Amino acid sequence: DHPTRRDFLFVATGAAAAVGGVATLWPFISQMNPDASTIAAGAPIEVDLSPIAEGQDIKVFWRGKPIYISHRTKKQIEEARAVNVASLPDPQSDEARVKSGHDQWLVVIGICTHLGCIPIAHEGNYDGFFCPCHGSQYDSSGRIRQGPAPANLAVPPYQFVSDTKIQIG
């Protein structure tokens, strides 16, 4: 049983239409996304937060730096807010480190403030980040709690462009 000539024409027309669709979409996409060299030079990047489940972290790169984005659990937020701020090595409230109305999202530069190693998410005693190089422990707000690092993980410049999207830089 062979396809008739009519079937073939139908298939061929469908394929041509699909190719045309891709071709018109492409200039739009390339205009929306700065290319790799522009990003490396410091262009802002947009990150869609919707795929990140509660309790998960993702790592993206901005200006060549690793950026951790944590979708914090209620427990992590409560822990970060229960601490006596004055007792911290680098006193900063959790509220000051996140965007108001978006408490579940922590965005930090993933570079240890001791000697620049990359801490590991979801490790250590404070439900935050652990630096394997010399044992610095950061909490679920990215604040230094224990170990040789002198300062909290830095928060990069960013803003919410929608409820589920941020722009870093």
Q: Nearest approach, Cβ of 111 to ligand FES (angstroms)?
A: 9
Complex with ligand FES: residue 60 or 117, whichever CB lies closer: 117
How far apart are CB 119 and ligand FES at their closest, in Å? 7
Between 49 and 144, whose beta carbon lies closer to ligand FES?
144
Q: DSSP states of 106-163 as a string?
A: EEEE---TTT---PEEEETTTTEEE-TTT--EE-TTS-EEESS--SPPPPPPEEEEET
Question: Minimal CA–CA distance to 101: which of 160, 52, 53?
Answer: 160
Check if the beta carbon of residue 114 is closer than 8 Å to that of residue 133: yes
Task: In angstroms, give the least distance from the CB of 124 to ligand FES.
Answer: 11
Closest distance of CB 64 from ligand FES, Å? 18
Q: Which is nearer to ligand FES, 105 or 130 (CB)?
A: 130
Distance CA 61, CA 40 (A): 9
Summarize as ranges the residues that interact with ligand FES (CB under 6 A). Answer: 112, 114-117, 131, 133-136, 147-149
Active site residues: 134
For ligand FES, the closer of residues 62 and 129 by Cβ is 129
Contacts of 29 (CB under 8 A, 6+ apart): none
